[in-house]
Structure 1
């Protein structure tokens, strides 16, 4: 929720080196945002390195309240009960934001902010709806979805038409 507002707003942050992707998201949401964004630097306390980021906020709008109530319980992010919202386009956005290949040939979805129960539901939905073979891996105190190597081609075929070209590296392309 926006400070001093009864309406929700959408915020988006991206590393400066992903500027093309960031601008495409900003442009796609031009009807609910001012089109302005902010550039800033911050120091990562874990590495003591300085990074540059870009961010923007949408306007605080009544139409965003419905999304807020589906994706948040108070101020805690949740997996919505209606998983049919996870369309191929939404799955592409999830991979663009939270996908990671690392040293593996499979694909991780970094679902670190969700409860184990939410990650289980999301994993089962990917299996049932898209026939994607995946499992849950523990990452510290958090849980991530691991898409097995044998399903990476399948998820590529589902989401590639919706992905921004600068983010396809997350699929090993």
Structure 2
């Protein structure tokens, strides 16, 4: 997922011409492979609420993350991480549906050849644009990826001290692949559970709860601690822990 994908020469030249007019730090990010932390983060985001858009077949792809109002602190955290690839502000939109007010928050990156590498493995079928769990997901999946997967799709069941990850959008084979990756890469026992007809989730039981917290807490945004059953509201994310990886 780390080399330039095939795009047209025209699109690549346009991209490079735009990049070379930017601040030096943005040039460094936009002309080099994603730093390890951003790569691992992007994997987790794409396995949950993140999506990739490809405006044209010959051009690059962009990352889009769209959450409800409660997810604003996490959206701002992701915005900070991917800021070198963003030229616009976080978008907050309020709509009225069935007499209820719904607020969503979203950001999009620019389109880049690098994100097209991820697009090609997460959206291999250009005809239906359906996101999958890449078969080789184990090569990039880390505790950082798990943290972002939980922040996006995790849910804590207090009555059973259990973390549930709602992977309902993926096929059973995809979820089994992801479950095995969590087990093999992180030595974390989990199970695939039939949530409803043809929809499967991952459950991490009480006996693995402390281990899960130890793995992901350094990378969880404090606004999302509740996803692993913790109540912390006044803590800030410690970016000094990840500076050498971004």
Tell me, yes or no, whether TM beats 0.5.
yes
Alignment CA distance shift 1:172-1:42 (3 Å): same
In structure 1, how many angstroms separate the alpha carbons of the residues matched to 2:229 and 2:221? 14
Alignment CA distance shift 1:44-1:128 (3 Å): farther
**Mind listing any 5+ residue stretches in structure 1 that lack a counterpart?**
none
Pairing 1:117–2:176 present: no
**Mind listing any 5+ residue stretches in structure 2 that lack a counterpart?**
1-52, 231-246
Give the match for residue 171 of structure 1: 228
Give the match for residue 132 of structure 2: 78
RMSD: 1.8
| 1:58-97 correspondence to structure 2 within 5 Å | 58-74=109-125, 75-82=129-136, 83-97=138-152
- The structure carrying a bigger helix percent of its residues is 2
Give the match for residue 25 of structure 2: none
Give the match for residue 13 of structure 2: none
| 1:5-44 correspondence to structure 2 within 5 Å | 6-43=59-96
8 Å Cα contact 1:27/1:35 also seen in 2: no
8 Å Cα contact 1:14/1:55 also seen in 2: yes
8 Å Cα contact 2:135/2:177 also seen in 1: no
Give the match for residue 101 of structure 1: 156
Superposed CA deviations along residues 117-156 of structure 1, whole A, max 9, x for unmatched, are 0101111122222222211112223110011111111111
The TM-score normalised by the length of structure 2 is 0.65
Deviation at 1:35, TM superposition (A): 4.1
Deviation at 1:16, TM superposition (A): 1.4
Deviation at 1:164, TM superposition (A): 0.6
Does the residue aligned with 2:55 lie in a helix, a strand or coil?
A: coil
In structure 2, how many angstroms separate the alpha carbons of the residues matched to 1:133 and 1:78? 22
Does the residue aligned with 2:161 lie in a helix, a strand or coil?
A: coil
Number of aligned residue pairs: 171
The TM-score normalised by the length of structure 1 is 0.90
| 1:36-55 correspondence to structure 2 within 5 Å | 36-43=89-96, 49-55=100-106
Does the residue aligned with 2:169 lie in a helix, a strand or coil?
A: coil
In structure 1, how many angstroms separate the alpha carbons of the residues matched to 2:215 and 2:186? 8
Q: Give 1 or 2 for the bigger CA radius of gyration.
A: 2
Give the match for residue 5 of structure 2: none
- The structure carrying a bigger strand percent of its residues is 1
